[in-house]
Chains A and B, each alone.
Chain A
Amino acid sequence: MLRKALMAGLAAGVFSLVAMPALALTSEEEPKHVEFGFEGPLGKFDRAAVQRGFKVYAEVCASCHSMNLLYYRNLAQKGGPFYEEKYPNPNASPYAKAIAAAVMVPDIDQETGDAVMRAATPADHFKSPFANEVAARASNGGAMPPDLSVIAKAREGGPAYIYSILTGYPTPPKGLTVPAGKYYNPYMPGDLASYWSGPKDQVPKGGFIAMPLQLTPDRVTFDDGTKSTAEQQAHDVSTFLAWAAEPKAEERKETGLAVMAYLILFAGLMYASYRRIWRNVAH
């Protein structure tokens, strides 16, 4: 009885700590419920979706957001959207080469040391749209577009949050004064009380974001014929960003299944040995 109570107490405590809800000072809307195939212990990335998502990033987001932790070669590495078994070395992948070659990056001339522009190679970082933070802010009304390399991990809610932000631009409720260069987004953390002239207990949820609505129908043309709705683009780019935040996630889960199978067998063996060794001891 006591032991059960202890166990139950401990279990409940540990569970409540682990399952602790998102902590927030501000009151934003919970992210929309969107399903992603890569979630869960068995989930895998839908490669076509990651490819489409990369296209959305390259054609839309890349004009403001850097992804400094990614190299073009990552796109063609194992688990990446453009991986093919034929090209185990991602630096030799024609896909990575072609994608990189379309981008001009600054370098120095190897003989004169002069600043030059050259076509990127798979070994280059994703090109940053701005030379530095000052330039980035200057072009965005003072706001800094965050680097998107690990954004899917850096926000509570991850890909569902990104999806919600990108598709969450309703007409601002009457009574909300939206400052110039800002947009109302119910999924963005913030505190709108001082911009609200309506009833004090009905302050709208969410906050202001300095990023204008980006995704509109047919903003990007998908090569595989997928219908390019705003939701589709948002879903695909969120998938791409989830992949980019941890390109080894699939490898991790695969390894995990093997490790688990091994450990469970091992535990069974240990338990059997334990029973056998202790069989003659009263305890």
Chain B
Amino acid sequence: MSGHSTYEPKTGIERWLDARLPIIRLGYDSVIAYPTPKNLNYWWTFGGILSVCLVLQIVTGVVLAMHYIPHGDLAFASVERIMRDVNHGWMIRYLHANGASMFFLAVYVHMARGLYYGSYKEPREVLWILGCVIYLLMMATAFMGYVLPWGQMSFYGAVVITNFFSALDQVIPGLGSAITTWLWGGFAVDNPTLNRFFSLHYLLPFVIAGVVGLHIWALHVPGNNNPTGVSVKSKDDVVPFHPYYTVKDGFAIVVFLILLSWFVFFAPDALGHADNYVQANPLQTPNHIVPEWYFLPFYAMLRAVPQKLAGVLIMFGSIALLFATPWLDWAKVRSMRYRPTARWFFIIFIVAVLILGWCGGKLPDDVIIPMGKNPDGSPTGFSVVHLSRILTAYYYAYFLLVLPFVKNFEQTLPVPDSISAPVLTEKKG
């Protein structure tokens, strides 16, 4: 999409079309000739994987929507009907449900890749922000999708999440409740809520597809970052996207599909929750309301503080930090490959987020290190909520202290002059 186009229409019809709508040129320049750094590793294959995930969700979703009934009394049974009576309905639904999980797995790897190799830095700030927008939209889409089967977790998940807004009552009395009532379309999560969630769940993936288009456009202007973080300097540094990266991405996509298929065919409910096979019942709150695994780190942050509004702000703030990342990192060197200190902080960051996810699945009062007993005999001590607090603090510190200031204490390693330079001297791998 950028730079000089090398497309040459070969046939008459191509020349005719090229003069009117240069769409073949666009495709050619973006996925055939597009110059790509030749040292991209497998962490770079997740962009292609994510595109496949989006297409998969849309295709399976559209078919599900042909059979699904968005009504409080019928939704649960209609999903079961898909499982039992629609030809290969079980496969379509399991692909969609597990596809959503794998989509998040891929997006997390993709984002971690960006954080590690400094892909958010100048000149890729807009690209990064568009990625954050996609992530937000994905969260909204998946949340509303999870409500659709109208099981117990669907219902109570919807109650918990929409109730975030009622925390605003602590700022302006009545404001939060007014917003939740508006979101629900009534005074409780009910049929109108389900209907509008279905409408939005159908809409948002197409909005995501649009933003993905912008994301790729914003990628093709500065071009790919790469593991060295050194900008492309000459033709020696790049290879055409096709066939070099079509085949590498293709391989990674097939391996990813193996993982997805393993879940779909052999453990389709492993990532879900048993309670969601119980039809929603507004009168019977489940013992333990947990979101899908991909929201657990944020759920832990939400519950790390006893004050609701503060919890909600901390949770949304953790995502806001991602948007601000390009301006929080003050180091000159892009890739953490050459930043021995920052790299350790990064590894700790990843581990912290994973442990936060674990905390999100536990109860805040679950004791990790017992240090005594309550009068009723239950242990007290260092509990999940304490751990969540420490890890949340680290999450924030990573963005607000490590990224801006660690460069002042860091001895960076020598950065190669060009992409080809280390490639020619270092051995492969």
Does B320 touch A at the CB level, under 8 Å? no
Contact of B77 among A69, A200, A203 (CB under 8 A): A69
B348-368 toward A: CB 8 Å interface, digit per residue (1/0)?
Answer: 001100110110011100000
A-side contacts of B423, CB under 8 Å: 282-283
Contact of A6 among B243, B265, B347, B357 (CB under 8 A): B347
Does A175 touch B at the CB level, under 8 Å? no
Contact of B296 among A17, A266, A283 (CB under 8 A): A17
The main secondary structure of chain A at its interface with chain B is helix
B122-159 toward A: CB 8 Å interface, digit per residue (1/0)?
Answer: 00000000000000000000000000000000000000
Does B16 touch A at the CB level, under 8 Å? no
Does A149 touch B at the CB level, under 8 Å? yes
Of B4-12, B205-213, B266-274, B307-315, the stretch lying at the interface with chain A is B266-274
- A270→B250 contact, CB < 8 A: yes
A-side contacts of B239, CB under 8 Å: 281
Does A102 touch B at the CB level, under 8 Å? no
Q: Number of B residues contacting the other chain (C-beta, 8 Å)?
A: 60
**Whose C-beta in chain A lies nearest to the C-beta of B373?**
A201
Q: How many angstroms between the C-alpha atoms of A9 and B428 in the bound complex?
A: 24
Q: Number of A residues contacting the other chain (C-beta, 8 Å)?
A: 60
Q: How many angstroms between the C-alpha atoms of A18 and B293 in the bound complex?
A: 8
Do A24 and B288 contact each other (CB < 8 Å), given the known contacts A13-B351, A13-B357, A153-B269? yes
A-side contacts of B261, CB under 8 Å: 256, 259-260, 263
Does B187 touch A at the CB level, under 8 Å? no
- B90→A17 contact, CB < 8 A: no
B-side contacts of A271, CB under 8 Å: 251
- B278→A25 contact, CB < 8 A: no
B-side contacts of A6, CB under 8 Å: 347, 350
Does A46 touch B at the CB level, under 8 Å? no
Q: How many angstroms between the C-alpha atoms of A283 and B38 in the bound complex?
A: 6
A-side contacts of B343, CB under 8 Å: 2
- A255→B265 contact, CB < 8 A: yes
- A281→B38 contact, CB < 8 A: yes
Contact of A74 among B38, B84, B290, B428 (CB under 8 A): B84
Those of A241-283 within 8 Å (CB) of chain B: 245-248, 251-253, 255-257, 259-260, 263-264, 266-267, 270-271, 273-274, 277-278, 281-283
B-to-A contact residues, CB < 8 Å: 38-39, 77, 80, 83-84, 90-91, 94, 105, 109, 239, 243-244, 247-248, 250-251, 254-255, 257-258, 261-262, 264-266, 268-271, 274-275, 277-278, 287-288, 290, 293, 296, 343, 347, 350-351, 354-355, 357-358, 361-363, 373, 375-378, 420, 423-424, 428
